[in-house]
Amino acid sequence: MNYRKLSIWQLARAQSIAIHKMSLTLPKFELYETGSQIRRSSKSVRANIVEGTGRRRYPKEFIRFLIFSKSSQDETIDHLETLFETGSLTDEVLLKRLQKQGIQLGIQLAKFIEAVERRG
């Protein structure tokens, strides 16, 4: 199984790139605060998919890393919403697009975790 072929990794990759680009448009004081946090959490989503896939021979380990990925995804959505609520992110269209992308990824991660648990 090549992680690059997984739709969850592809979505996580697209999200991390979009989040990274968005974070660079934030006010200067946010670049090193929530901007840094959201970049790290979004990159953690894809990194944990990669690491979990590398441990797929051990279903419990695979699931554990997928759960880390899902948790980082939830964190990313929370940071995104916080940035909007505090006025650091003012582009509501961008917010909605990133939220939609993030929610879709969260749903797919949850389904993938369930599928791996059933096979386990």
Phi-psi category of 3—alpha, beta or left, where left has phi over 0 and alpha has psi -120 to 50? alpha
Cβ 101 vs Cβ 13: under 8 Å: no
- Distance, CA of 68 to CA of 74 (rounded, Å): 10
Each of the 120 residues of the chain gets a pLDDT tens digit; together they read 799 999 999 999 999 999 999 999 999 999 999 999 999 999 999 999 999 999 999 999 999 999 999 999 999 999 999 999 999 999 999 999 999 999 999 999 999 999 999 987
Residue 1: what pLDDT? 76
Domain boundary assignment for the chain: 3-119
Asked if 79 contacts 39 with a C-beta cutoff of 8 angstroms, the reply is no
Q: The CATH number of 3-119 is which of 2.60.120.890, 1.20.1440.60, 1.10.8.80, 3.40.50.2000?
A: 1.20.1440.60
Q: What's the predicted TM-score (pTM) here? A: 0.94
Q: Residue length, the chain?
A: 120
